[in-house]
Chains A and B, each alone.
Chain A
């Protein structure tokens, strides 16, 4: 059982919908991440939050909007996505640098 839980596990949404992905970590970590995994590209880092402050925004389109209300929770708000945004979105957390980064099981997103 992972210490990082993501919901929903599967999501199908239309291009005009607004939805959110949720991530919760139970490990007491101080950093959380969103990664995107698609068939065509290696795992891509999207956002990094450290101590609830966004420290990385990796040229991600504004239709993806992250939110980190506290050190245990991370959201990814989705708005007017494109079919090419269909992918597995992985949340992760860690404590400090050089330590293991733990991944959640991911949210499979399909945009129709």
Chain B
């Protein structure tokens, strides 16, 4: 059974600081997704990582995937308040986009 673990589950950080969210998963997969969710809103796709060593960047967020270590990271550079949200990683269980989600990381950026 595929399990996806994120840590930390809650992150409070100062504006301008850097931090990393980690996503570990238990069985082999080569497709990993990162989503953002604002309170009361749906999930917004951030990144789709499709191969070992994949790295994608958008603004202050950068995601990477190491399929051998079964680890993905979401790195936040020089955090700003607008990045406050809950971030989810999800791993494709098998053919057909059957995603298994992590518990989510609640990020709060303080001024």
Contacts and interface: CB of A to CB of B under 8 A. Distances in A.
B92 A97 contact: yes
A78 B83 CA distance: 36
Interface residues of A, number: 23
Name the prevailing secondary structure of the B interface residues: strand
A112 interface: no
B78 interface: no
A90 B31 contact: no
Interface stretch (A13-21, A42-50, A65-73): A42-50
A55 B96 contact: yes
A2 interface: yes
B42 interface: yes
Interface stretch (B59-67, B69-77, B98-106): B98-106
A98 interface: yes
B41 interface: yes
Contact of A104 (B31, B42, B100, B104): B42
A45 B42 contact: no
Contacts of B97: 31, 33, 48, 94, 97-99, 101
B43 A90 contact: yes
B25 interface: no
Contacts of A43: 88, 90, 99, 101
Contact of A101 (B99, B100, B104): B99
B95 A42 contact: no
A98 B54 CA distance: 13
Interface in A83-112: 90, 94, 97-106
